[in-house]
Amino acid sequence: MATVELLGILREQAKVRPEDLGPADGKAVADVIQALGLPADLVAFVMVNGRQQPKTYIIQPEDHVILIPLIGGG
């Protein structure tokens, strides 16, 4: 089963915890972000198994998805 991890302020801002969401497999990252109650624009990076992916990416079984905000900037 895929796992979803939140970093930084995303942890504080999410209305639902990822582990309470049910399986993310087969869902688009954007839908998961919405289900977590997060504003999509706050998620700066979507890392799936160590690679950056777009929010349209469909989550596969065994994927490890990390959602990362960008707070301090470039």
Partner 1 sequence: MLYGYGGNILRIDLTTGSITTEPTDPKLAEKFLGGRGFGIYFLFTEMPRGADPLGPDNLLIFSPGPLSGTLVPGAGKLDITCKSPLTGGYAGSNVGGILTAEIKYAGYDSIILKGKAPKPVYIFIDNDKVEIRDASDLWGKGSLETEKILKDRLGEEFQIATIGPGGENGVKYACITTDYGRQAGRGGVGTVMGSKNVKAVAVRGNKSIPVADVQAFRRAARAMYKACKDSPGLQVWQRYGTAGVTVWSNEIGAFPTRNFSSGQLEGYENLSGEVMREKIVITDKGCFGCPSPCGKWSHVKKYGVRVEGPEYESTALLGGDCALTDIEDVAYANYLADDLGLDSISAGNVIAFAMECYERGILTDKDTDGIKLTFGNAEAVFAMLKKIAYREGIGAVLAEGVKHASQVFNKGSETFAIQAKGMEFSGYESHNAPSMLLSYMTCDVGAHHNRSWAITYDIQTGRDTVTPDKAERVIYLQHVRPLFDALGACRLQWVELSLDLNLYVPTIAALTGLERSWDDLLKVSERIWNLTRLFWFREVPGFGRAWDMPPARFYKEPVVSGPTKGKVMALEDVERLLDMYYEKRGWDANGRPSPQKLEELGLTEFAAAV
List residues near partner 1 by CB under 8 A. 5, 7-9, 39-45, 47, 50-52, 54-55, 66, 68-74
25 vs 64, which CB is nearer to partner 1?
Answer: 64
What are the angstrom distances between the C-alpha of 68 and each of 38, 45, 52, 71?
Answer: 12, 5, 11, 9
Q: Which residue has the tokens 């990822």?
A: 18
20 vs 51, which CB is nearer to partner 1?
Answer: 51
Shortest Cβ distance from residue 16 to partner 1 (Å)?
A: 19
